[in-house]
Amino acid sequence: MMEKEWEKLRFEMVERQLKRRGISDEHILDTFLKVPRHLFVEKEFLAEAYYDYPLGIGYGQTISQPYMVALMTQELHLDKENCVLEIGTGSGYQTAILADLVASVYTIERILPLLNKAKDRLTKLGYNNIYYACKDGNDGWDEDIQFDAILIAAATNSIPKQLFQQLKIGGKMILPLGSNLFQRLTLIEKKEKRYEIKPLCGCRFVPLISRGFTNEE
């Protein structure tokens, strides 16, 4: 397929899947027009790269539907100066969207072949503000960094403690909270001595091995 045809599919994705469902941040919409999603899917799903559903990327993992990627990104209210932690690199598509919007992205993936493939894609596309680690996402980043936002692209039934500790006061975390079968996409804002929770919508993600705490603790 010619590049102009891919551009047309990205335009249709933005118009039909994102704008019509409330994604209004112009920076995010421009980024979705720019990032070549078809380069982040497996060859057998190439014709479905811009469809409105998740696709398998191997190892029991998926690339999320475009709308879910856009919604999670928009709810974080990011700016160019932000430092963001992503848990679950997966294909690297969400990583690319974030890296186009903020100063730096720290991304963790526990499956090394997925991380290596994502890193190769992102490097070839020219991203130089992304830092990679292969480890348990519950542990967060090894260095003493406080993040403006944390995006968790895997389901957990509780808020991961160590990740929450790495979030700045006033920072936001977005994640799917719930069981392996059904979760609710949830936005958490960290306050000085508490946190606020905003449920957004139902969703379904692959599971994160959780070692967290619930809102009642």
- pLDDT-derived band at 158 (thresholds 50, 70, 90) equals confident
CB 158 within 8 A of CB 213: yes
Q: Identify whether 64 is a catalytic site residue.
A: yes
pLDDT the model gives residue 57 = 94
Q: Return the SS3 of 109.
A: coil
Strand (E) or helix (H) holding 149: strand 147-152
Round the average pLDDT of the chain to a whole number and report it: 90
pLDDT higher than 70, residue 89: yes
Task: Please identify which of the residues 64, 91, 104, 210 carries the catalytic annotation.
Answer: 64
Q: Return the SS3 of 163.
A: helix
CB 207 within 8 A of CB 156: yes
CATH superfamily of 3-213: Vaccinia Virus protein VP39 (3.40.50.150)
d(C-alpha 173, C-alpha 148), whole Å: 9
pLDDT higher than 70, residue 203: no
* pLDDT top residue among 193 and 54: 54
pLDDT the model gives residue 182 = 82
Query: 107-154, pLDDT tens digit by residue?
Result: 999 999 999 999 999 999 999 999 999 998 888 998 889 999 999 987
Query: 50-70, pLDDT tens digit by residue?
Result: 999 999 999 889 999 999 999
Q: Which amino acid is at 136?
A: D
Contacts of 136 (CB under 8 A, 6+ apart): 110, 209
pLDDT higher than 70, residue 20: yes
CB 41 within 8 A of CB 61: no
